[in-house]
Structure 1
Amino acid sequence: MIINPLRLTFVVMACLALLVGCGRREQNRNVLKGTTGAVTIHGDVWADNWFALYLGDQLLLEDSVSITTERSFNAESFAFNADYPIVLNFVLKDFKEDDSGLEYIGTKKQQLGDGGFIAQFRDATTGKLLAATDSSWRCLVLHHGPVEDDCAAQASPVAGEGPCAFTTTAEPPNWKSEAFSTEQWQAATEFSVSDVRPKDGYDRIAWDQDARLIWSDDLKKDNTILFRIVIDKP
């Protein structure tokens, strides 16, 4: 086979341009304003349906798509500066129309929703994976509902009545602080892609093999959950 040297040169240059371009986009992630520290972190988060991320008690980022948007699934990629230990606190919410925990109340689609969450954090300089969601993360359920699946079959479901009862827990005081202990919180549960069926933004992220889809142990009835991880200096 005779290889045209001009064509080969063109192919090589195109591949190099693609690689450089991808690298440039990765390096040029905007660092979130108001963050300071010696380390720059690259983060990727996908949630069903909504999240707020705190660096300690400082609000770092909220999901850019409102939780009231139907099928509000999207991914956020960002950078921030911090110092070790890095305390990351998440508030995760699956959409619920009211405290019953149901979606699409009064329509043919009336149902229990389901959640899902995946995140990863890398050192922007070295590319080293610093943290990724898995069963080692700890979580606390703040809203659980409905207490029974039969709520979804009610013609006129009323939050707090019969199978549509729900339970709530207040956020613990100072839970975002470095010194807070999560020993009493439950371990996160890992779920498969087929369990969560992630959409809209999930596929545009190159997830590390160690990053897992997680939630509490009840993917459908636990609607508001706190997650927390502390990243120590490698």
Structure 2
Amino acid sequence: MKHPHLIVAFVATLTATTLVALAQKPNDRPPPPGVPGKLKKPQMSDTIKANIYADNWFMLYINGELVAVDSIKFIPHNVISVDILPTYPMTIAVMAKDNADPKTGMEYANTNIGDGGFILKFGDGTVTNANWKAKAFSTGPINRDTKNPRVENIPIPENWYAVDFDDSSWGKAKEYTEEQVGPKQPFFEHDFKGAKFIWTDDIDLDNTVLFRHVVKSSPDGRPRVDYSNLNNIVPEGPPKKPKK
């Protein structure tokens, strides 16, 4: 004899699955394996905003591709905002530099020891914090000696921004407060809520720092289409407007 409660459970599960499938628009579903041309073309609504502020300069890679470069090397301090098309897992790699003479590690005609600071926020909820990896590659003036300043440099690996780069030996980034970094006005005009300023343990002497972080899935939980294979398919375009 068949069990009625098992039949009811099966029907309920089937109905729920069907409703979820119907709720998805055809263009929002991933293409069937091996079937090209079933992925819609990405629209600006598929992108997220990235806000980045560095004291003083940065370059940003995502999944091994250069995405943004600070347009001002020193001052005035500025915020770079760009639209990015996220793909997960997302490997973020950043080179950040505090303005410093390469021989002395000082600034303003070798009269001052500067300080760094980096902060980032993406529209999916990705933020900088102490979970990021960080490593210094240029430090100075050593021992804060401003009378005979010198700098110690470590060669930067060629593939430091690659997805498969091994950063297992790197330490964690250190968080700093706004008061410690002292961001300038453009910072307060952009959304950095929830993000933390980060650097190495020495925000004064470490002048060139690399950061890395992997975002395994969208922090806001929103499902997003994977466009990482876009170059290898023929995507469907948006519906064409009828001719007048």
Residue 56, structure 1, aligned to residue 41, structure 2 = no
Question: Match for residue 4 of structure 1?
Answer: none
CA shift digits 1:15-73 (9 cap, x unpaired): xxxxxxxxxxxxxxxxxxxxx979523211110000001123321111122x1x4x331
Q: 2:208 matched to which residue of 1?
A: 224
Structure 2: how far apart are the matches of 1:55 and 1:62? 12
Partner SS state of residue 185, structure 2: coil
Given the superposition, is the C-alpha separation of residues 37 and 188 from structure 1 closer, same or farther in structure 2, using an over 3 Å criterion?
farther
Of 135, 138, 159, the match for 2:133:
138
- 1:91 paired to 2:95: yes
After superposition, give the CA deviation of every residue in 1:112-147 in whole Å (9 maximum; x if it has no partner). 011111101123xxxxx1x21111100111100111
Greater fraction of residues in strand: 1
Does the alignment pair 1:203 with 2:188?
A: yes
Tell me, which stretches of 5 or more residues in structure 1 are unaligned? 1-35, 124-128, 155-162
2:87 pairs with 1:103: no
Who is 1:45 aligned against?
52
Distance 1:97 1:40 in 2: 38
- What are the residue-to-residue correspondences of 1:1-234 with 2, within 5 Å? 40-65=47-72, 67=73, 69=74, 71-105=75-109, 110-123=111-124, 129=125, 131-151=126-146, 154=147, 163-208=148-193, 210-234=194-218
Task: Give me the identity figure in percent.
Answer: 32
Find runs of 4+ consecutive structure 1 residues off by over 3 angstroms: 36-39
Mean CA deviation greater in 177-186 or 42-51 = 177-186
Structure 1 residues 231, 105: CA separation in 2 closer, same or farther (over 3 Å shift)? same
Instruction: Give the Å deviation of 1:226.
Output: 0.5
Q: Is the 8 A contact 1:145 1:222 kept in 2?
A: yes
Q: Which has the larger radius of gyration?
A: 2
Q: Which moved more, 1:52-61 or 1:220-229?
A: 52-61
8 Å CA contact 2:121–2:192 kept in 1: the answer is yes
Q: 1:169 Cα deviation (Å)?
A: 1.0
SS at match of 2:195: coil
**Separation in structure 2 between the aligned mates of residue 37 and residue 140 of structure 1, nearest angstrom:** 35
Equivalences, count: 176
Query: What is the Cα-based RMSD across aligned positions, in Å?
Result: 1.9
Name the stretch that deviates more: 84-93 or 168-177.
168-177
> Structure 2 unaligned runs (5+)?
1-40, 219-244
TM-score (ref. length: structure 2):
0.67
Cα distance in structure 2, aligned partners of 1:187 and 1:96? 23
Q: CA deviation at 1:165?
A: 2.3
